[in-house]
Every structure is written in structure tokens, then in C-alpha cells.
A and B are shown apart, each in its own frame.
Chain A
């Protein structure tokens, strides 16, 4: 199957700092990528849709100025958590659909963010 790589897998940062998470589609082009957040023992909640060459679309309640998304190429989307706080600690995971007859979504490995 297709491969989506997410980096870093784990990061610890201090409150007030920013963290950038990368999501790459390694063997296919992705004009759209999705960013999800998953709190412990909870489901995946869609944060935003990343669109190559245009602005991201954010879900209701997600602060666009706090969670900056950039999709500058057909294989890379980045999520930057700005001015991180302990409540931003979570598992962040991206997915990229491989469109066509089979629109299966391929997930990155996820990033465990801990803000101290």
C-alpha cells in the first residue's frame, strides 16, 4: 500500500514554544491531507483539511492561528502548534487519501506531543 511518513514520532516541548510536525506522502501525490488529534482513550477528531497551494480548511472550534497548516507541495503538509500549552498535549496524526477507484486513506505514524 501507499506510504505516509510523519515526523517526529515523539516531541516534548516547553510551554510557549512552537512545534512543527511534517506529513509526507512518499510514493504518491496528495493534493489533500487531513490532520487529526487524538486524546488518550478517545477517538480521532478531524482538525483541518490541508489543501495543496491554498489555505487549509479548519473544523469548527479549531483555532487556525494556533494550528498553522502549510501544504506547499504535493507530497508535504506541515502542522505547526504555536505557543503550545499543556492542554495541547495529544497524539496528532495525518492522513492522505490516494484518490482514484480506491479512496483509501493512508495514515502517518502519528506524533505524540507532550507540552511541559
Chain B
């Protein structure tokens, strides 16, 4: 049973870089046809996809965040990470990591395993 756990600072100052890590347990991050994704949710609002990474290192990013986002993977630690630079109060949210699974029968990707989420507040 694969599980994901987000970790990182809960408070980040404006203009600084937000850094979060997602640790994968119960399975290898390198096995199977998966992307590893980051999603966020401001309080009381909907889900916003940030981006994802394949274990080969290939990435896709939300165009609205692309200039500030870097997602990387460390297969030796079974982790993937998010860096979001030049943060403002608008980046305050619950941040989730998720496994984006490829279904060979339908050709579809879907997020079948999620972390519990971590709250990040941007404030001085």
C-alpha cells in the first residue's frame, strides 16, 4: 500500500522560496508508469494543479506558475520535491502531493494516491 507524506516549513516569508518534499513509502518511486504531482488548495477554495514529474525527470507545469516552480525527484530517497520561488500571500494554501497513475486500458492518467496535505502560510 503506497503512502505519501508531505513535509516542509509551515511558514515562509514573502519573496522567499517555498520548499516541500513528498516521501513515498510502501513502494518504489521508480516502479510503474507514474507521474508524481503537486496540487494546492487555498482555504475555502478549489484545487489547483501545480505540476508533476516522471521518474525520468520529465516535467509538466501549470503555465500560471511555471516561471516560479521547480519539481525534482530523488529516487535514492524515494522522494520528490517542490520549490516555489518569490512567494506572496496568494501562495498560502494546503499543499498536496499525489501519485498520477497511467491506466494502460484507457490511456488515462488519474491521481489515485494522495498525501494528507501540509499547510503553508506565507507571512512576515
A, B from the same assembly = no
Interface residues of A, Cβ cutoff 8 Å to B: none
Interface residues of B, Cβ cutoff 8 Å to A: none
